[in-house]
Structure 1
Amino acid sequence: MANDTPDLRQIVSQINSDMAQVEDRGSVANYIPQLACVDPFQFGIAVVTADGRIVKGGHADTPFSIQSVSKVFTLTLALRQLGEALWDRVGWEPSGDPFNSIVQLEAENGRPRNPFINAGAIAVTDALLGRRTPVEAVTEILQFLREVAQDESISVDAVVAKSEKASGFRNVALANFMRDWGIIRNAPEKALDVYFNHCAVSMSCQQLALAGRYLAWGGRLGPEGPQIIPAIIARRINALMLTCGHYDGSGAFAFRVGLPGKSGVGGGILAIVPGQASIAVWSPGLNEVGNSKLGSLALEKLTSQTGWSVFAMH
């Protein structure tokens, strides 16, 4: 990683100004009714650095639906609880297909390719659910998010969760198909209840960047912070974020940004600079593969100006 970083506040301020001038902001996720109502003319960015600074711009304090970014945190909890046994139920290879595809499941005996496509995240959610009630599982996820973000105000947006449940027919099909193969071991509606709720968690860029710190510092909340997970788990989650975190746009994100990242159709992206920073960006308009159009562009600008990349010379 490059350490001779130009002034980060100036860079973030310039990126915020640049994003305000972009006319093509993509399209909001209209297949989830509640997300279709979000104003696309919003952009936020927050960067948490090794010394604990928070550098932010735009709508960095505006809560938004983190959607699939939540899959990073449920995967963390499942690996912390189940360890390697989790990989019996979900793989770690890129899919190359849309995030809600059912084709691969049928070809591969109901075992999802990775934890970040919808089928994989539902399988991880089911594993995390175990013998808990859905309410207990959602409470545990929220407690974990509040712990890593050090913010007790983080909550589920019940209106978004209800909207997803009412329109999530493809996810219901995925869960039932996996139940038939024994990948899902609880009643599908229980796993889906938890899944719809954790996707409907509402966070701001600042909260999300703070929550991601343990992935930047080997499982710790900062260089000297408490150990949340073993370093090997943090390393593997980062690897999955790099290869699978943007669905069938993951290769393009790695090529242009060069960081582990996880997107959500709410327009948020969590990106990790190992040993340097945790970054969150948000803009509701999505590109053709379902990732934030302005968020991706902003991260490309940020990494080009800071030299941050997992592929950079140390």
Structure 2
Amino acid sequence: MSQSAAYRDDVMLRRIRATAAILRGTRMTKVLSPAQVAGHLGGWLPYGFCYRSCDIAHLHDPRELSQLCTDGAGEATEVAYALRWRAVDPIDYEVPASPAQPGLALLPAHSRVGAMVLGTGFTPSADDLVPEYVTAGFADLPMPANAQLIAYAPGGEEIILYTYQPEQHGWLRLAGPRWRSLLDNLPGVTPDREYVPCTSPGSSKLVGRIKDKEYEAVADPPEEFRVRALTRAARYPVSTLSRRAEQALWRNTPCWVLQRDDSWARLRLVRPDGDGLAVTGARCYERGVYETWAPVGELTDHHIADIPYTL
């Protein structure tokens, strides 16, 4: 049933799928290509298709894991890479099916990258039952503290390559000389660097309040949410927390504004469907992620959106 589009709206299958819940602090994993690893080292944030780490914990072989990669290569490789982080809140994730993403599974094959989206809430697989998620509206999520970039070597051994340091907005290398060959595969990455600062600021961030003052915040789920500060003494806990990002409509299509200058904006579709692709000309860059460029002057309802969390 999980592998058949005929059961997309089946009540029993939806009830089964609903038991795969994300809680605050749930470990999430996104399988990456080497180019995507380099992108995250440069400042990319978690976005798009991902999995609960517990649901793919039995998949250690790189050839099996590479089938879950979202960039469309779909090749069985000797080494697999992944980003692993802890969920800040369940509202940051949704099932890539109706009602959250009604048009995703109906997109034609020629406009798709990677494995097809079945619309049942499970990833295509002949051997495993793996529930899949997307970040809510395909949004960029702020990187939580202590997120990890990991590799799976031949034989299934897991190696932590880098860990994220939010105060410095960069990655600390943990892999030693033995694993240099795993870093040599990453385009544009210098394996000898012990610390890699992110060059991109990211399109979303966390903000929190202490009394009446607002601060940029850091999430260390499940319990710690604090002011972003270089000195440990200044990392006070915040009393409120929200995710802040830029949104707009272009040709009546809801989009995230990922970057912009005075003339042009890079947009990502919130709910990809056939009509949205037709009017925007958005292109699929990885599984489920459709982006395009638009003149800033044509954007409507252009605003900063705050998505509040309940602490």
Structure (1 or 2) with the larger CA radius of gyration: 2
Structure ranking higher on relative contact order (CA contacts 8 Å, 6+ apart): 1
Normalised by the length of structure 2, the TM-score is 0.29
**Which structure has greater strand proportion?**
2
Normalised by the length of structure 1, the TM-score is 0.29
